[in-house]
């Protein structure tokens, strides 16, 4: 793949470099999105121990108990693995990195109506890619906006240092960590159509809104990647995959990061 022609314009590369994120429209076709919908509709019907553990009780006070996120679906579903290694995504990543990308993680969020959002955070706090950085590819499976719990990003924080997070507001966030943005920058919404992909680096501060709608899911297929010259990553994300599906086993990164090695409750992203 290293010889693949560049797919991003200078303007797109500058946007990512300067703002820390980039939306590429329609990187997944309607057929791709439909296939992903079908796969996760099937997965959503029954538990997959260790990866998807819903509460199937009739009466639940939290919609995320019935529809928690699916962690690492590429480890048990070949279609999820194939789309984690989706060639158009890998080609964009090669441009952003200036080298080939390695796939480290896949996730699927159902985000049903009424779901809490996710407090502002930084991805490389969890992935601990070194040297280099992780990049997320966040694919909208439904239209994502401020009403149904779309993403929000803090521009120009792509080079902001990784910090030890504060405690998040559990009424609004289903995760426990919160990173306060720098005073001069504010979080802004990223509105996306089905099949659009938001790329952002591991230092960018970002999160998501609560789903305030009564009848709209905000489904998303989210994968994280490392640069091929990285030598370490967090234990949770090993092994990694080249685009051809072969595995790469980077060293586990023992660094406790900005919170130190005693920090507990590091929730895998």
Range 185-207 average pLDDT: 97
d(CA 170, CA 109): 18
Q: Which fold has domain 14-48+64-253?
A: Jelly Rolls (2.60.120)
- β-strand partners of 188: 153
Q: By C-alpha distance, which of 113, 71, 135 is closest to 219?
A: 113
135-149 per-position pLDDT tens digit: 999 999 999 999 999
pLDDT band at 1 (very low <50, low <70, confident <90, very high): very low
44-94 per-position pLDDT tens digit: 999 999 999 999 887 778 999 999 999 999 999 999 999 999 999 999 999
**Residue-range domain boundaries for the chain:** 14-48+64-253
pLDDT band at 171 (very low <50, low <70, confident <90, very high): confident
CA of residue 31 relative to chain centroid, distance:
22
- β-strand partners of 102: 226
Under DSSP, the state recorded for 75 is: G
Range 210-225 average pLDDT: 97
Does residue 262 register a pLDDT over 80? no
Does residue 14 register a pLDDT over 90? yes
């Amino acid at each position: 793949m290293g010889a693949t022609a560049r797919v991003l314009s200078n303007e797109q590369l500058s946007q990512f470099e300067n703002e820390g994120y980039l939306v590429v429209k329609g990187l997944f076709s309607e057929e791709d999105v439909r296939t992903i919908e079908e796969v996760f509709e099937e997965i959503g019907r029954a538990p997959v121990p260790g990866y998807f553990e819903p509460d199937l009780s009739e009466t639940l006070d939290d919609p995320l108990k019935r529809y928690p996120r699916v962690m690492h679906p590429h480890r048990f579903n070949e279609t999820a693995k194939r789309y984690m290694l989706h060639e158009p995504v890998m080609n964009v990543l090669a441009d952003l990195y200036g080298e080939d990308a390695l796939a480290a993680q896949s996730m699927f969020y159902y985000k049903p109506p009424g779901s809490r959002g996710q407090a502002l955070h930084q991805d490389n706090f969890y992935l601990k890619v070194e040297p280099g950085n992780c990049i997320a590819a966040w694919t909208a499976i439904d239209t994502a906006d401020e009403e149904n719990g779309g993403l929000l990003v803090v521009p120009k924080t792509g080079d902001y240092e990784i910090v030890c997070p504060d405690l998040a507001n559990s009424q609004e966030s289903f995760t426990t960590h919160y990173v306060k943005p720098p005073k001069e920058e504010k979080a802004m919404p990223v509105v996306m159509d089905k099949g659009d992909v938001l790329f952002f680096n591991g230092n960018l501060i970002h999160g998501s809104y609560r789903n305030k709608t009564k009848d709209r899911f905000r489904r998303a297929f989210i994968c994280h990647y490392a640069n091929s010259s990285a030598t370490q990553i967090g234990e949770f994300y090993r092994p990694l995959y080249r685009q051809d599906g072969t595995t790469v086993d980077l060293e586990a990164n023992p660094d406790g990061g900005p919170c130190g090695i005693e920090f507990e409750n590091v929730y895998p992203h």
